[in-house]
Amino acid sequence: MLPDAGPDDPTVTAMRARELGRKSVVVGDRVSLVGDTSGAPGALARIVRIAERRSVLRRTAEDDATTAEGRLERVVVANADQLVIVSALADPPPRTGFIDRCLVAAYDADIEPLLCLTKADLAGPEAVLGYYTELELPYVLIRPDSDLAALRALLAGRVSVLVGHSGVGKSTLVNRLVPEADRAVGTVSAIGRGRHTSTSAVALRLPLAPRGDLEPPEAHSDPGWIIDTPGVRSFGLAHVSAESLLHGFPDLVEGTVDCPANCQHTAEEADCALDAWVAAGKADPRRLASYRRLLASRSGEGDPREPERNPGDPLAGS
Ligand SMILES: Nc1nc2c(ncn2[C@@H]2O[C@H](COP(=O)(O)OP(=O)(O)OP(=O)(O)O)[C@@H](O)[C@H]2O)c(=O)[nH]1
Ligand SMILES: [Mg+2]
């Protein structure tokens, strides 16, 4: 879609020009077009240049860690300002390990995180929010009848990308935010097993909010963009250095100042200061355990089948 196009302007169809070589275009990319950009039926433009990316959200596909392809690093979206981590409060149950991984990816890519807890009509948010008390993590609660004004205010003026397990309600939310979007919505077939209804990422322009509806003035001039993505089973972080993993745990960072030089912060480090930090009540022990699980999963010691599950989560022991 052209940057200055109005909501009713046609969408331009374009293909990659040969001169781009192997560079791939991902959702969120700003591109230069030549050729027929009228958007008329049958018109085809060419993408000749990809603008420098402001941010790049990546994940390593760990869906199949046994093959070389399974370790491939994928760019999820380019130029996102905000990572909306969508987690259902039930059906499927929340996984704080998954949310922790998304937080690492967000801080690593310099994208602001927003926790979006859906299906608040089915379960309360206390357990999940309790786990993140030390974090000043912004969050919104969504139920089928909830007013979306607060969320719209947080989306205004920026590009936000939704990530989450299959079946948590990403497309349902997009359809509420952008009624014309008509994103397919699926059913959750069994606990924790969504059907991966959405199969590709799509960027949509949010509609202008009615005047007087929202505080920030940008909501009236620039309501922002929302990117719906297909559900993922896990958020692989093999591309993030062990050092950068800590950035996803701002509640632990200060605790590492007393660590010996070159401390790896693993459970095996006898003098790691994080144990004392947690023992002194400065951070939640479950957060330290989650951080160490991530460290271990990087060195291949973690359980690749359920990398995003923390013992404190509902059904964690099952
Ligand atoms: N009770 C309840 N159900 C919801 C809510 N939001 C979504 N659902 C239901 O959850 C199911 C899955 O929703 P989707 O929007 O398809 O989920 P998704 O995250 O887009 O899933 P994928 O595209 O597979 O990644 C649908 O049956 C929705 O009706 C909610 O707030 N409350
Ligand atoms: Mg979907």
Tens digit of each residue's pLDDT (9 = 90 or more) over 109-163 = 999 999 999 999 999 999 999 999 999 899 999 999 999 999 999 999 999 999 9
User: What is the DSSP pairing of strand 202-205 with strand 139-141?
Assistant: unpaired
Q: What is the pLDDT of residue 65?
A: 52
Residue 83 Cα, ligand 2 centroid: separation in angstroms? 16
Q: What is the pLDDT of residue 71?
A: 59
Is the pLDDT score of 281 beyond 50?
yes
Q: What is the pLDDT of residue 242?
A: 82
Four-point Cα dihedral 28, 29, 32, 34, nearest 10: -70
Residue 26 Cα, ligand 1 centroid: separation in angstroms? 25
pTM of the model: 0.88
Strand, helix or coil at 16?
A: strand
List b or e across 280-316, with b for residues whose CB sees 16 or more CB atoms inside 10 angstroms: eeebbebbbbbbbbbbebeeeebeeeebbbbebbbee
Q: Which two tokens stand for residue 204?
A: 């949509």
Residue 105 pLDDT grade (very low, low, confident, very high; cuts 50, 70, 90): very high
- Name the least confident of 27-31, 140-144, 270-274, 306-310: 306-310
Residue 98 pLDDT grade (very low, low, confident, very high; cuts 50, 70, 90): very high
Residue 317 Cα, ligand 2 centroid: separation in angstroms? 28
Residue 266 pLDDT grade (very low, low, confident, very high; cuts 50, 70, 90): very high
Residue 250 pLDDT grade (very low, low, confident, very high; cuts 50, 70, 90): very high
Residue 169 Cα, ligand 2 centroid: separation in angstroms? 7
Is the pLDDT score of 35 beyond 80?
yes
Is the pLDDT score of 18 beyond 90?
no
Is the pLDDT score of 192 beyond 90?
no
Q: What is the CA radius of gyration of the chain?
A: 21
- Which letter does DSSP use for residue 236 in this model? B
Q: Which two tokens stand for residue 237?
A: 């972080």
Residue nearest to atom 27 of ligand 1 (CA): 187
User: What would the mean pLDDT of 73-93 be, rounded to a whole number?
Assistant: 93
Average pLDDT taken over every residue of the chain: 85
Question: For residues 313 and 97, is the Cβ–Cβ distance under 8 A?
Answer: yes
List b or e across 236-270, with b for residues whose CB sees 16 or more CB atoms inside 10 angstroms: bbeebeeeebbbbbebbeebeeebeeeeebeeebe
Is the pLDDT score of 303 beyond 60?
no
Distances (CA, A) of 258 to 135, 271, 273: 21, 9, 6
Q: What is the pLDDT of residue 94?
A: 96
Best mutation site among 76, 143, 172, 175 for ligand 1, i.e. most ligand atoms within 8 A of its Cβ?
A: 172
Q: What is the pLDDT of residue 60?
A: 83
Residue 43 Cα, ligand 1 centroid: separation in angstroms? 35
User: What would the mean pLDDT of 171-191 be, rounded to a whole number?
Assistant: 78
Cα 269 to the center of its chain, rounded Å: 31
To the nearest whole percent, how much of the chain has pLDDT over 90? 55
Give the pocket of ligand 1 (CB within 6 Å): 118-119, 121-122, 142-144, 164, 166-172, 185-188, 194-198, 230-231
SS (H, E, C) 156-194: CCCEEEEECCCCCCHHHHHHHHCHHHCCCCCCCCECCEC
Q: What is the pLDDT of residue 1?
A: 59
Residue 318 pLDDT grade (very low, low, confident, very high; cuts 50, 70, 90): very low
Is the pLDDT score of 184 beyond 90?
no
Residue nearest to atom 10 of ligand 1 (CA): 169
146 CA: nearest ligand 1 atom: 31
Is the pLDDT score of 217 beyond 70?
no
Residue 253 pLDDT grade (very low, low, confident, very high; cuts 50, 70, 90): very high
